[in-house]
Amino acid sequence: MIVRRGPRSRYLGAAFRAADSTDVARLADASGTKVRKLPEHLGGVTADLTDPGGVMVRVVADTHELPTLPPQPTQVFNWGHDVHRANSTQRPPRAPAKILRLGHVVLQTTRYVESLNWYLEHLGLIVSDFKYFEGQRERGPTMSFIRCDRGMTPTDHHTLAMMLGPSNRYVHSAYQVGDLDAMAAGGAYLRELGFHRSWGIGRHVEGSQIFDYWRDPDGLLVEHFADGDLFDSTLEPGWSPMTASGLAQWGPQATKDFLGLTPGRDALRELVSMARSLREENEFDLTRLRGLLKVTSS
């Protein structure tokens, strides 16, 4: 993950690591692009592509291995009759949750099917779960949770998720923390500093992650998560209707902020995008708009 200082928070694109430089060269050749060296401090090579929504996608190999971030000590739990701790107390620190890694990114696109097929074809990803607008399953899915195909090696339920919407934009990125205590204590620390919790804490359905969503000072949505599902390549995709109430197994109701319904600049920008998308040639038509609006109240 590369973070550069700028005047405001902005998502530029995602990088996927290939097995080796031969795979990068093969992808570059098939895509009509060139392999180039990355800066010396990163090492390795990259093939830079652009998905149908205009998002940069970088596929890299042979990059330098960075030192592992120091982990946050996990708590020792007593689970009912399964006792692992005696004569000691639980005192998780009220401190920023230490990030273990970037887990996934979620994107919205006006060309969902085209973009989905692009990622499956170019990166060899596979779908874990499909979501569809209620009453519109015959038209196909409108969201997918996509994982890396690593054969029999279990991998995250989704590294990428995509949904159909009126604009091509970043939705959120997710970062794994050690456990629920790290998440909750870290959330208390953020709240004391005046940061805005968008939604949480709860447990998702697709992916099963315990989640906590926050807004950064520029309004960018980020997620802390723990305890997510891992799938190998043998599992077939699931199908379910896309509803706001179906986003979590437990936890508070999805907030207006998380659903993008809070009045403000971002909501106005999305309304403008809706009007523009309905006039342009893409997959977001009036029927899809009605389906999306129904999601927020279901």
Q: What is the pLDDT of residues 207-229, one digit of tens each?
A: 999 999 999 988 999 999 999 99
**Is the backbone of residue 260 left (phi > 0), alpha (psi -120 to 50) or beta?**
left
Instruction: Give the pLDDT band (50/70/90) at residue 73.
Output: confident
Pick the more confident residue, 202 or 267.
Answer: 202
* CA-wise closest residue to 64 among 22, 12, 2, 155: 2
182, burial (CB in 10 Å: exposed 0-12, middle 13-18, buried 19+): buried
Output phi, psi for 244, to 5 deg. Answer: -65, -40
Taking the CA atoms of 97, 68, 176 and 54 in sequence, report the sign of the dihedral they define. Answer: positive
Tokens found for residue 52 = 């149908």
The Cα–Cα gap between 198 and 195 comes to 10
Q: Walk me through the domains of the chain, giving residue ranges and CATH numbers.
A: 17-61 (no CATH), 97-295 (3.10.180.10)
Rounded CA separation 12/14 (Å): 7
Task: Lowest mean pLDDT of 7-11, 24-28, 115-119, 120-124, name the range.
Answer: 7-11
Contacts of residue 232, defined as CB under 8 A and 6 or more positions apart, other chains included, come to 150, 151, 152, 153, 154, 155
93-109 pLDDT, tens per residue?
A: 889 999 999 999 999 99
**pLDDT per position as a tens digit, 222-248:** 999 999 999 999 999 999 999 999 999
Structure tokens given for 151: 């054969």
Q: Which of 71-85, 153-167, 203-217, 222-236 has the lowest mean pLDDT?
A: 71-85
